[in-house]
Structure 1
Amino acid sequence: MPDVDGLREVVGVLREWQHEGAPMQLHPGDLGWFWRFGADATAAAVRTWSRDGRLLAIGLLDGATLLRMTTAPDAMRDEELARQVVADLNQPSLGALVAVEAPQGALVKDLLAEDGWKPGELRAPLSRDLTAPVREPGLRIETIGPEQAQVRVAMQRASFDRSTFTDERWHAMAGGAYSDARCLVGYDDQGSAVAAVTVWSAGPGRPGLLEPMGVHREHRGRGHGRAITLAAAAALRELGSSSATVCTASDNFAAVATYISAGFDPLPENPDFCRNA
């Protein structure tokens, strides 16, 4: 794992690995959103693999049981790297690890299957091209700064039943890999905050990420999810992103339908690989 000072280097490398046409993969925004737990916790959750001083693979322990990882674009089928990653994933120090999320086509997945790991939860990646302007969302949209952090926090907690987001965690996130990110809140005609999203750019000409998006539980079923998703796509386009991407569980049918209604195209589903109990 990197030290805290090495985190920004990891994020920078991960930005360089994002490119159009690549399968959905770990994004710098994933690390940026995790940063809400603080720099030390984020550093402790990151795993890296290098050769000759060059980073070749990066993983994020998303909780105790799931590792989300990707590799350098030219190392997806690197056998030496893949075998080292799989060997490390079977170490006792990662004994609680039971699932790995890796990009479609990564050799790591083939070797995990050979080692007895089985396909698990299906992920549904979606993408929207940002070449053309995005239509107006139909909500009043505000970009949230430090002085409005409590609004974004309240929306997160109103959208996700088990959310642990706090003002302190918003400020921790904003102090991390947040320079090319935006928090947006949508307001309806009555002035009520009804939906929120955070978007993460990986730099001009690269895919951006929505993570997370939510609609207030008391304002669902009125098209606000579609509206805030359109606002997110527009914000990423303003930041220079080539596309907007998002990934959710395949069985989250309402979320998938919302993204499709906002112009996102489904990409091939991608399963986690799970260790036998």
Structure 2
Amino acid sequence: MTIALRTPEPEGLTEVVNALREWQDDGQPMQLHPGDLGWFWRFGAPATAAAVRTWSRDGRILAVGLLDGPRLFRLTTAPEVRRDGELARRLADDVTRPERGVLGPGAADVEAPMDSPVHDLLAERGWHPGEPWTPLRHDLTEPPPDPGVRIEVAGPERVGDRVAVQRASFDSSTFTEERWHAMAAGAPYADARCLVAYDEQGTAVATVTVWSAGPGRPGVLEPLGTHRDHRGHGYGRAVAVAAAAALRELGSSSALVCTPTANTAGVATYVSAGFRRLPGVRDSSREG
């Protein structure tokens, strides 16, 4: 059977999310996670569907990609077809040819599991290793320690605090209460929690969203931020510990996060929260 490239309709996103859930495994390299689609869902289901691509054979989804911005395509495959030559060549062809509608011309990055042959195929086409990233993993066999600060689950009644800390953590953030509600209405959020950390005065100082892929599978932190006016007090570490604990309560086997290797302070924060550094990863990049 031929491999079919599709952009799903919004009502088809649940099937895509379920496929991504099934592919998560602690024995696999870090890869596109249902939580990545969940965080993108803040732009709404139609926008999320428009950013997703699937490759299927005989009606079965083999690969999923997310156009996470105009120049970054995040891609993964079912583990059992990771080394499938026909699929890898089709993926490489589709992401490098603008007429296929995945990436346009010019500078671009493709994120894929490091054991994917797609990286080698892109290198043959002139792509090169991009910025180094550091994945980190927190085993959840044992419960994490108490974070040492007050942590609240942010539902509709605390969405204002959740949004305010997000916007104060990332200078370019466009997060709003409307976008939180859109995200919370998405299929992946059924296995997610937003957490907010408060200082002794009751001020919201840090936040994180955690995404489970179901019991016995790794979950991810996406995103985590500390309010710019409250950095240097350990709140990032505290909310990272709380994130790991929340994922354990959701049944996750581990908590995963990935940050630019150049973000040495961020890496140190996660390590101090009990996360272990994994081998570095790189996207495949194309110059403009």
TM-score above 0.5? yes
Report deviation, 1:89: 0.9
Report deviation, 1:36: 0.1
Give the corresponding residue for 1:275.
286
Range 145-154 or range 13-22, more displaced: 145-154
Q: Letter of the aligned partner of 2:141 in structure 1?
A: T
Give the corresponding residue for 2:133.
123
Find the aligned partners of 1:89 and 1:30 in 2 and give their Cα distance: 19
- Unpaired runs of 5+ residues, structure 1, are none
Secondary structure (helix, strand or coil) at the match of 2:190 reads coil
User: TM-score normalized by structure 1?
Assistant: 0.98
Aligned match of 2:121 in 111, 115, 135?
Answer: 111
On the 8 A contact 1:35/1:42 being kept in 2, the answer is: yes
Q: Deviations over 1:84-104 (max 9, x none)?
A: 011111222322461100011
On the 8 A contact 1:116/1:276 being kept in 2, the answer is: no
Give the corresponding residue for 2:104.
95
Give the corresponding residue for 1:135.
145
1:266 matches 2:272: no
Give the corresponding residue for 2:224.
213
Secondary structure (helix, strand or coil) at the match of 1:178 reads helix
Secondary structure (helix, strand or coil) at the match of 2:200 reads coil
Q: Letter of the aligned partner of 1:49 in structure 2?
A: W
Aligned match of 2:166 in 156, 159, 165?
Answer: 156
Q: Size of the alignment, in residue pairs?
A: 277
Give the corresponding residue for 1:224.
235
Aligned match of 2:155 in 117, 142, 145?
Answer: 145
Aligned match of 2:254 in 240, 243, 257?
Answer: 243
Aligned match of 2:91 in 75, 85, 93?
Answer: 85
Q: RMSD of the alignment, in Å? A: 0.9
Report deviation, 1:276: 3.4
Secondary structure (helix, strand or coil) at the match of 2:54 reads strand
Give the corresponding residue for 2:31.
25
Q: Deviations over 1:229-268 (max 9, x none)?
A: 0000000000000000001111111111100000101111
Find the aligned partners of 1:222 and 1:39 in 2 and give their Cα distance: 37
Report deviation, 1:147: 2.2
Aligned match of 1:14 in 20, 31, 53?
Answer: 20
Q: Letter of the aligned partner of 1:155 in structure 2?
A: V
- Unpaired runs of 5+ residues, structure 2, are 1-6
Report deviation, 1:76: 1.1
Give the corresponding residue for 1:63.
69
On the 8 A contact 1:36/1:169 being kept in 2, the answer is: yes
Find the aligned partners of 1:192 and 1:241 in 2 and give their Cα distance: 29
User: TM-score normalized by structure 2?
Assistant: 0.95
Q: Letter of the aligned partner of 1:171 in structure 2?
A: H
On the 8 A contact 1:206/1:242 being kept in 2, the answer is: yes
Find the aligned partners of 2:185 and 2:164 in 1 and give their Cα distance: 19
Find the aligned partners of 2:27 and 2:278 in 1 and give their Cα distance: 11
Report deviation, 1:5: 0.7
Q: Letter of the aligned partner of 1:259 in structure 2?
A: Y
Aligned match of 2:58 in 32, 46, 52?
Answer: 52
On the 8 A contact 1:86/1:112 being kept in 2, the answer is: yes
Q: Letter of the aligned partner of 2:46 in structure 1?
A: D
Secondary structure (helix, strand or coil) at the match of 2:61 reads strand
Q: Deviations over 1:92-132 (max 9, x none)?
A: 23224611000111011111111111001111110010000
Secondary structure (helix, strand or coil) at the match of 2:189 reads coil
Aligned match of 1:39 in 36, 45, 55?
Answer: 45
| Identical positions, percent | 67
Find the aligned partners of 2:96 and 2:32 in 1 and give their Cα distance: 21
Q: Deviations over 1:4-60 (max 9, x none)?
A: 011111001100000112101000000000000000000000011111111111000
Range 184-193 or range 202-211, more displaced: 184-193
